[in-house]
Structure 1
Amino acid sequence: MRNIFLVLMIMMSCKSFPQTNCSQYTILPLRTYTDIPEDQCYYLKDTNNELQAFVGTWKGVWNGKTIFISFKKVANKYKEGLNFNTDIIIGKFKTVDSNGNILFNNLQIADDDAKMEGLGFINMTDKYIVTYYDEDVCDMSGTIYLTFANAAKTQLHFSFNQRNEVLTSDCYFHGWPHADRPEPLPNPDIILTKQ
C-alpha cells in the first residue's frame, strides 16, 4: 500500500511539472496544425521568425485615449491546456487620456504576469490570437486578433472581443452604467502604428 501511494505521488508530481525534464525537444514549426502528443517534449518553434514582426512598441488612438502596447517574443513557453511548449508573444500596455493622464499602466510588470499572452496563428491565416486577462480590472478578459494592415508590417489591425462580464459586488465599478466602466483596451477595432 505504501509503494502504491509513493508511485501515485510520483506520477502526480510529474504531471504537475510537465516537460521540465526534457533534455531534448522534438521541434515542430510554429504553424503545425496536427495533433501534438501531450507532455512528450514537443516544442512549436518560430522557425520562420514570424513573431518578430510583432515585437516592439505600437501606438493607437480611440475615444480620446491613446494606447501604447509593447509586444515581446517569449521562446519555449509551456502552454497549460495545450500541454506542449511553443514560442509566443506577450503584451503589456499603457493607456492615457487626451490630457496625458495615465489610466492604465502595466508596462513594468514581470513577463510571467503579462495581461496579454499569445495563443498562436489561426489555421492557415496570418491572424494571430492573443488572450487578455486583467484581474486588476475585475477580471476583465477577452480575445485579441492581430493582423498586419500593410505589407511593410508597420500597421497592425487590433480587434478586441471582450467577454461578457459577471460583475460581483466587490468589483469597484459594479453597478456603473456600461458607458462609464473602465476601458483599458480599444473596443472595437483600431489600427496600431509601430513606433
Structure 2
Amino acid sequence: MKWFKDEDFIRGEVPMTKFIKRNAIVSLLDVSEDDKVLEIGTGTGSVTCQMAVICKEVTTIERNDEAIEVAKKNFEKFGLNNVMLIKGKAPEGMDGADFNKVYIGGSGKNLESIMDKLDEKNNFTVIASFIIFENAYEFKDLLKKRNYKNIDTYMINVSRAEKLEMMIAENPVIIVRGEKND
C-alpha cells in the first residue's frame, strides 16, 4: 500500500490534512479493502486518496470549486478510479450513497442535518476531525444523544524539527469516532 507524503499532492490555496493526521484518521476509521467510505469535505483530497488506495470505493462531497478542481487533479495524478466526487454541501449529495464508513472533514456548520441524514442508515463507523474544541464536543454530544456506541475522542498534536533542531508545531486536531449498530 502507498503512503502518500504531503509533497506528493497538488495543493493550490486549499488547506490540506497533513501526513500524520491524515494517516491517524484513516487508521482510526479502520479502513479496509471491502469498505465503502462516504467522505464529507474533500478539500485537496489527501484523506480521500489515502482511503482510496485501501478501500473498495470512496464517495466524497465538496462544495468549494477550487477544492474540487485540486482534488480532481490529485485523483487523476494517482490514478484513483474508485472515487466519486459530488459537488454540493452535505447533506446534499448523500442520498443513495452506499457506505459502511464515514469521514467528516468539513461539515460547513451542518453537523446536525448531516447526522440526521446518516441516521437513516445502520451499521457504520463515523469519524470526524475538528480544529475547534466546541465543534468536537458538539459532535460528541450528537453521537451520545443518538445512542452511538464506542465513542472515542483523541487530540493529535504534531511538531516537526526544523532548522537548528527547533520544533515547529502544527495546529492540533481533535478526532471523534463512534459506531452506529442497530
Which TM bucket (shorter chain)? under 0.3
More helix by share: 2
Return the index of the structure with the highest Cα Rg: 1
With normalisation by structure 2, the TM-score equals: 0.27
Q: Work out which structure has the larger RCO, using CA pairs closer than 8 Å and 6 or more positions apart in sequence.
A: 2
More strand by share: 1
